[in-house]
Amino acid sequence: MTFRNLFISSSLILVLAGCSKKTTEDTIVTPPVAPAVYSITEGFENSAKTAYAVGNFTAPTGSWTLDDALIGSTAPDLKNGTKSIRLRTGSVTMNFDVKGMTMLYIKHGKYGTDLSSTWQLMISSDEGKTYTQIGTDIIEDNTVLKLDSFKVAINTAVRFQIKKTGTARVNIDDITFKGTGDSGIITGVPDTNPVDTANNTTAAPPRNVVAGTDIQPVSGDNSNLLFGNPSNATMVDADNFLIDQHYYVESYSSKRGTPNWVSWHLDASNFNGATARLNNFAGFTGLPANAFMVQSNSYSGSGFDRGHNIPSADRTSSTNANSATFLMSNMIPQAPNNNQKTWADLENYLRAKVLEGNEVYIIMGSYGSGGVGSNSSASITTIAGGKVTVPSNIWKIAVIIPAGDNDLSRVSTTTRVIAVNTPNINSINTDWKKYRVSVRDIEKATGYDLLSILPKNIQDVIETTVDTSN
């Protein structure tokens, strides 16, 4: 493995430590919390581009441009998994920046029986306006994937480009960004259209879920209800009505006009960017008999967003998957800043954890009545003519485990579980970490039995612990 310095500082900073007199009382200084370390790998397993013509594709890490390059999956393609980039005479370019980087790792090798050739690694610190070559040309003569590492010694946000020289083809795979703090990688499309801004008087046609080949299994690993049914929802009780939406499972309250809770599994294949955010809000036809069907325009003018429980950006593997998240039976009246800032940041954080090599099981819900939206400072208890309850609190728990098999058996007393409970107000703090609680706190507030499938000795530890990790 070779190390290449991207930049060498021309100045030396000297830190001088002063002396001070010892006082009669020692001052206790709390050491600063070290920035979180991240490691995000783009393996192109969830990407598709089959022609050499220049074009963009969206991967979990963001948008990339391939010029005279494609996503290869044939036998001659060197790859870790099923796919890698096959680059001929053009370039591979990131269309996003990464902050706080310390190292860049790239796996590379010759394609098939092609001759040796060379490529260049380029870096930009001005959002891709200009690029500078890092070091010298890299000779590509590897018949198996080789891992090269590059030290990043620049403090600003950067993006990279791999530029080919010569006509022989090369494979590029597993580009890994390592650093500290906030990487800045947005792993999903922000909630850009949560409000019925047109104040439509005509609702969109209601619909059901169309299940594709990318749905989650009904049971076992990766199933949406793996950790149990928190409220013992059934298909009999209209106010605790169990609905398997194939891409997620929920308990729906006909009286409230919102979900009690929504449960789903998240891995990198779920948000691979195969489809764009659809914004096709619609009523759901599968509600209990005589239940009020919340329409796409039922929140219009209320001062509250059509707030997703399972986010749109968690299901971009197909139009069917993304459409399922836009059913109004997945929505709650959510204060705009709560939805678009605090919760959006938490959702992005969890997707970033997936890209670091994890999978996440998530349950989100709401309770109470009376939230403060953008129209006034007063608490509003219902909208849509009293048919939809505005919750006072919105909560979420996330069980984070390394990607793998036999998921339940791999949950232990040291497994990281994030539990968050926020007030549904527009003046909310944007830092979701300030609202961390224990799972037991949420259970007391809701009466639910969360993570009930786990052994009690494990529940007693992870449900009483308040997460403090960065």
Residues annotated within the binding site are 339
Q: How far apart are CA 374 and CA 301, in angstroms?
A: 10
Residues in the chain: 470
Give catalytic status of residue 308 as yes or no: yes
Q: What DSSP letter does each residue of 136-167 carry, written as one string? A: SPEEE--SS-EEEEEE----S-BEEEEEEESS
**436: DSSP letter:** B
**378/337 Cα distance (integer angstroms):** 16
Query: In terms of Cα–Cα distance, which of 243, 282, 245, 272 is closest to 260?
Result: 243
* Eight-state DSSP code of residue 203: P
Dihedral (CA of 339, 345, 346, 348) sign: positive
Of the residues 108, 246, 265, 308, only one is catalytic, namely 308
Burial class (CB in 10 A: 0-12, 13-18, 19+), 51: exposed
Q: For 135, left (φ over 0), alpha (ψ -120 to 50), or beta?
A: left
Residue 49: how many other CB atoms lie within 10 Å: 20
- Chain centroid to Cα 297, Å, comes to 27
Q: Which residues pair with 57 in a beta bridge?
A: 64
The position carrying tokens 């076992």 is: 220
Q: Which residues pair with 118 in a beta bridge?
A: 139, 165
194 touches 340 (CB < 8 A): yes
State phi, psi for 410 to the nearest 5 degrees.
-95, 0
Tell me how far apart the alpha carbons of residues 119 and 88 are, in angstroms, rounded to a whole number: 10
**CA 78, CA 84: separation in Å to the nearest integer?**
7
- Catalogue the active-site residues: 308
